[in-house]
Structure 1
C-alpha cells in the first residue's frame, strides 16, 4: 500500500508539473537594475555555507521519493545527476523504510551512486529518535531533514490526524542527532513564529517550503474518491512571503523551496535571505519525461545562468545578493503590509546604487 502511494505521488506530481500555471509570488519580486553594477564573471563563486558545511552551490535536489521499485530507480538517477553536477540531494520521506526494511535499497542508492556528495536523510515529525538515527546511518547522511506536512496528512485518505506531539518529538530528535537538523514544510510555508520556535529548539536550518511548487493538498485530493478537499488547495504562504516573514530572524539558516522555477527565482530567493534553494518538481518532471543526461544538462545550465545573474548584479557570492535592491509589489507587498514588514526598505539596500564607486574607491565629481 505504501509503495503504491509513493508511485501515486510521483505520477500526480509529474502530471501537475506538466500543467502548472506559470505565475507565482516570485513574479512580484524584481531586482532594481543598476547598469554599472556588473563585475567580471570569473569573480563570482557559487559556494555557500549551510548548516556549518560548505556547499559548492546554493542549489539542491529537494526531498522527492523512495519506497518502491520505480521510485528507487528515480532516486538512482537523481543521485547520478547530483553527483555529476556537485549539488546536494535529499531523500524522500523514509517512513516506508521504517515499516519495511526490505526496501532500504530504494533510499540507500542515493549514497551508493553519490559516495562523496552531500546527502540528506528525510523523516517525518512522528519518527522516533532511533528511526531518525537509522535514516542517517542508512544514507551516511550529512544532515537530517524533518518534514512538516499536517495539511497533506489531513487530505491524505490514510493520513495522520494527530499532530500535537510534533514539537516535543522534534526537540528529542534534535537533542539526539549527531548531524545538523533541517526542518522543512512540504508546500504550505513556515511562518516567522514557527521558524523562531525551531531556532529555540536547536534546529540548524529551516526550509520554508512555501506554496507555489508541488501541491500535496492537490495531489492527495486527486487520490480521494470524490475529490472533496479542493477548497484547501490554496492553503498556506508562498515561498516569497515566507522568506520576507523571516526577515530579521537570526541564529538559524533559512533555505527556500516551493515554486523555484528558474535561476531567476533562485536569485530572488537568495536575495530575500535564503542560504540555499531546493528544487523537486521541475527536476522530477525533467527526469521522468526525458532522461538523466537531460536533467544534468538542466542543472548545469541553471548554475551557469545563476552565475550570469550574479555577474550582472555585482554579487561575488550568493550571500551578497542580500545587498541588492528589490522591488516588492502586488500580493507580496500586501502580505508585507499586513505582517508589518518594511518592503520599501528592500529597494534601498545597495551601498552604491547605480554606480560602483563604493566598491572600487573611485572619486567622482557630483
Structure 2
C-alpha cells in the first residue's frame, strides 16, 4: 500500500512539473493547436476543382509539381530552422548553467537579496520594532515602499483589514494604517513577487503560474502554522520563496542569458554575411523548449538550499532546516514541526494549481491527501480560504 501511494505521489509530481513548465493554463483560454494550419492545407489539397480536357490535365500536373516544390522548400526551411534552434538551445543552456554556479552573483543580481532587503525582512519578522524604524527601512527598499503606499489607497485591500483607505504620500503614515502585523504578511509577499519577474517579455505564463503556486504555498504554510499555534506564522511566505529560489534564479538567469546569446549569434551571422541566419535570430523572441529543459534540470531544488543558506541561515536557521528536509525528501515522521508543515503545504499548493487547471481528477483526492498527511478538516480549511489570493486579514 505504501509503495502504491509513493508511486501515485511521484506521478503527481511529474504532472505538476509538466503543468508548471508547459502550456496548460490556470484560467480558461484557447489552447494553441500546432496542427490546425496543416489540417487546413491538407483539406484544400483534397478538394481541387475538377475540369475535363487535356489542357486542364496539364495545368493540374504543373500545379501539382509546383505544390510539391513549395512543400519541399518548406520542409528544407523547417529543417534549417530546427538546426538553428538546436544550436541556440545548446549555447543558451551552457551559458545559463555556467552562470548559475556563481552563487553570490545569483543571490545579489537575480534574487536581489541585498543588505537592505535582508535587514527589512529580519527586523520585520524577528524583532519588535517601531513604526519609524520600519518606515526608514522601507525607504531603503523603494519598490516595497511605493507598493505599500499604493495599497493604503486601495479600498478593497484596506476594507479587508477593517480600515478606511486614504491617499497618503509618506511611508510612515502608510505603515501606521496597515500595522506591523499586517506588514509582516504583506512585505515578504511583495518582495518575493518582484523577484519572480512576472512582467518579463519572454514567458509570462510560466511566471504567473509560479507566482500563484508560491503565494498559495506560502499562505498554506501560514494557515497550517496558525492551526498549530506556531509563534511566527508570517514566516510562511519566506519559506515558500526559499523553496522556489531554484526556479526564480534559473528563470532570471535564463532571461539575461537569452538576450546575451541571441545578440552574440546575431553579430556572428552579420560578420559571416548570413542574412537568413541573422534575421532568424533577430526575430527570435522566446524559446520555450530551452526554458523547459532548464527548469526540469533544476526540479530537484537542491539549488534552493545553496541559495537560501547564505541569506537566511543566521536569522532563520529553522527555515533552512525545514527547506532541507523538503528538498532531500526526509520521511514525514522524522521531520521538524516546520518541515511537516512545509510538506503538507507543498502537497496542497500543487493540488490547488492542478485543480484550477482542470488536471486533477476527483478520484485521486483520497489517496493524495493520505500521502500528504492532510486530514479532511485541514483540507477543507485550506480549500475554502482561496489561498491563491493574498490575505491581509489573518
Give the TM-score band, short-chain normalised: under 0.3
More helix by share: 2
Decide which structure has the larger Cα Rg and report it: 2
TM-score of the two chains, using structure 1 as the length reference: 0.28
TM-score of the two chains, using structure 2 as the length reference: 0.26
